Amino acid sequence: MIRNGSDSAVPRRLQWQTAEVSGLIDETPRVRSLVLTLPDWPGHKPGQHVDIRLTGEDGYRAQRSYSIASAPESENVMLTVERIEDGEVSPYLSIDVRKGDKFELRGPIGGHFVWTSALQGPLFLIAGGSGVAPLMAMLRHRAAAKNKAPATLLYSSRAFEDIIYRTELERLAAMGDGLKIVHTLTRQQPAGWAGGARRIDRAMLESEGFPPAARPRIFICGPTRLVESASQIMLDLGHEANLIKTERFGPTGG
Amino acid sequence: MAQPPISRGFRGRKPPVQSDRIPPGQHLVHDFPVLSAGPTPHAPLSEWSFSLDQGGKALKEWSWEEFNALPQTRLKTDIHCVTTWSKLDTQWRGVSIDDLLKAAGLAEPPGDFTMAHCDGDYTTNVPVDDLAGGKGMVATHFEGEPLAPEHGGPARLLVPHLYFWKSAKWIRTLEFLDSDEPGFWEQLGYHIYGDPWQEQRYAGD
């Protein structure tokens, strides 16, 4: 069963609150992280998301969902936004927004695509592009909780400069706490690149992941094609369906 | 919140046409995003069956072949996902809940509520009044083609006037119940009913 009794507590009502942008981090040429200060944040689990609502000067409103990229241990909430060229909300959040700007937010939302340090066993995270955001919340939480269970992030980006959180991921991998990070670059690789140079495929998932007998918890987040293919391969390799959790990032995140 | 903060410099892009068909907080898309909680099931049609259940027993069960021989209903409708996208004029074909009840020899629905059970252990709850009377169907075709697995094929529930998580993918059983019980997302903080026009996204909305 996918259902998990511990996640089934009576939910509290989600109220809109005003988030203030207290920091901006340019992650890649197309991706920016927003650090938000919130008056009343109840805490979250890594993997959960929030809804945000923008109101223009003329009263026009737009609402979107974004994954939380920060650990629960972090003081602020971080969202990571990839610019969709013809999008309505993401260009504003990834280009126009400045420190001190405000918008409405409510959350955290979702209790399925979540991992906390209390869960036993190896962790296998599979990411494509900005789908790494909720998985980063898990890795940041894992480090903050000093969890030493083996964990692997297999992360597909288009090119080296498109790798989100690159230096922080290097730092996390260097901690020697059982975390392995494997990059694959699908379109362009720098000279002397030692990582993967193709889309995530069966050979990669088999060699970089854990054997089914180790019963890893598997989280897959990225574009639909990657999620469909990686989850199907993990099933074919013998992993149990109820250990595979998926979340998708499509162009309609806009 | 009475006075929402103005997002300095945000102009947005107003829905060009038919904004009266877009519920609050939604935006129009033209593709068909895929969202699901786990791997897409690929059960062979020879092993597929669909049943109406009550009290743990099948009232009636159909094989894929039998199911496709039932009267077909076509529906052109708008759909609204809780993740804020809406899609207009989607075209579906399948078997209406009314025709399923009739084919099962049931003059009346045998309960006021239902739980849809799906491959992959997904469940969702829908009141009978939102399925009967021409409101819901088990859809097997989208835009004239067999429903693709990632969109819920071979068959999904279609309840287009509720948020789209209620239109459960990969449906295998519709269970009739006397009381309303929360399904998968409903236990994880999503609204028990999910009316997009009331913006019932999460519990308490």
Give the bridge partners for A67, in sequence order. A49
A1 inside 8 A of chain B by CB = yes
* Chain A partners within 8 Å of B35 (Cβ): 248
pLDDT of A11 reads 52
B39 contacts A63? CB cut-off 8 A: no
CATH of A15-109, one of 1.10.340.30, 1.10.287.610, 2.40.30.10, 3.40.50.300: 2.40.30.10
pLDDT in tens, A198-226: 999 999 999 999 999 999 999 999 998 99
Q: What is the DSSP string of B49-101?
A: EEEEEETTEEEEEEEHHHHHTSPPEEEEEEEE-TTSEEEEEEEEEEEEHHHHH
- Which residue in chain A has the smallest CA separation from B10? A56
Greatest mean pLDDT among A110-119, A192-201, A243-252: A192-201
* Chain A partners within 8 Å of B204 (Cβ): 11-14
> Where do the domains of chain A lie?
15-109, 123-249
A123-249 has which fold?
Answer: Rossmann fold (3.40.50)
Q: What is the mean pLDDT of each run of 10 residues along chain B (205 residues)?
A: 80 71 91 85 93 96 98 97 93 98 96 96 96 98 95 96 96 97 94 97 93
Instruction: Indicate if the alpha-carbon torsion angle B136, B141, B144, B150 is positive or negative.
Output: positive
Enter the ipTM.
0.85
B121 contacts A2? CB cut-off 8 A: yes
Mutate which of A6, A102, A126, A224 to test chain B, going by most B C-beta atoms within 10 A? A224
* Out of A56-70, A90-104, B12-26, least confident range: B12-26
Domains and their CATH numbers in chain B: 24-32+43-198 (3.90.420.10)
The span from the CA of B75 to the CA of A210, in Å, is 46
pLDDT of A5 reads 36
Percent of chain A scored above 70 by pLDDT?
A: 93
